[in-house]
A = this chain, B = another copy of it.
Amino acid sequence: MTSSPIAPFTELTTRLGRELMTALVTEDDADALAQQVAGIAEQLSRAAAAPHTVSVGDPHTTPNHIAGDITPASSPRNPIAPPMSIVPDGDDYRCDLTLPLQYQGPPGRVHGGIVALLIDHILGHAANWGAEKRSFTRSLTLNYDAGTPIGEPLTVRGRIARVEGRKRFMEAEIICDDVVRVRAEGLWLSPREA
């Protein structure tokens, strides 16, 4: 086997890993689960034996940032990551996505910590995109005004509200069915000059 670009094989493996997670949290029947796992394992084995032939068309994937990006919020090589694809939208950054069952907290609702993951990540993106110096989360306040549904289309929006020196004051919302479910405010800070 010769060395090859990592992206397509990794993307396929990641996607199968995500399917594996969905199977694990969905099936109550051990036999049905075993059959799904066997199918996924067979695909993984075949791909591992012939990684160069794998072709993947996952639309939210940007091959040239895969090698370095392993974030659990959006990386195409990390099966934890919800399918976050962040795009500019006016002065905001925006992400449309639907979350499967492995992100559930209370029945039918996205786990509050996963909600925080989506918000923290889009705000980190909004604070840092095109910035000269990277800034990091200093504080984050989340208001859970209503439940955020599993399995329904969500829109996550975030923006810089204002800048004061090293401080970036951030705002974000999660919207479902035209209703704001979560509002957030955060402070992002770049490190002091040495």
Interface centre among A3, A103, A116 (most CB of B within 10 A): A116
Indicate how many identical chains form the complex.
2
Contact A17 B21 (CB under 8 A): yes
Contact B48 A80 (CB under 8 A): no
Query: Given A44-B40, A139-B142, A5–B30 Cβ distance below 8 Å?
Result: yes
**Interface window among A66-74, A88-96, A160-168:** A66-74
Nearest B residue (CB) for A46? B41
Interface residues on chain A, size class: 35 or more
Given the complex, which residues of B lie within 8 Å of A37, measured CB to CB? 13, 44, 47-48
Given the complex, which residues of B lie within 8 Å of A30, measured CB to CB? 3-6, 9-10, 51
Given the complex, which residues of B lie within 8 Å of A119, measured CB to CB? 113
Kindly provide the distance from the CB of A86 to the nearest chain B CB, expressed in whole angstroms: 14
Main secondary structure, interface of A, reads helix
Contact A72 B140 (CB under 8 A): no
Roughly how many angstroms separate A13 CA and B32 CA in the complex, as a whole number?
13
Given the complex, which residues of B lie within 8 Å of A190, measured CB to CB? none
Given the complex, which residues of B lie within 8 Å of A5, measured CB to CB? 30
Contact B114 A24 (CB under 8 A): no
Contact A72 B114 (CB under 8 A): yes
Contact A80 B102 (CB under 8 A): yes
Contact B140 A78 (CB under 8 A): no
Interface centre among A42, A72, A75, A134 (most CB of B within 10 A): A72
- What are 14 pairs between A and B in contact, CB < 8 Å? A3-B30, A10-B24, A13-B33, A20-B20, A25-B70, A28-B67, A40-B44, A44-B44, A72-B113, A106-B134, A112-B120, A113-B113, A117-B117, A140-B142
| Chain A residues within 8 Å of B, Cβ to Cβ | 1-6, 9-10, 13-14, 17, 20-21, 24-25, 28-31, 33-35, 37-38, 40-42, 44-45, 47-49, 51, 67, 70-73, 75, 77-80, 101-106, 111-114, 116-121, 124, 134, 136-144
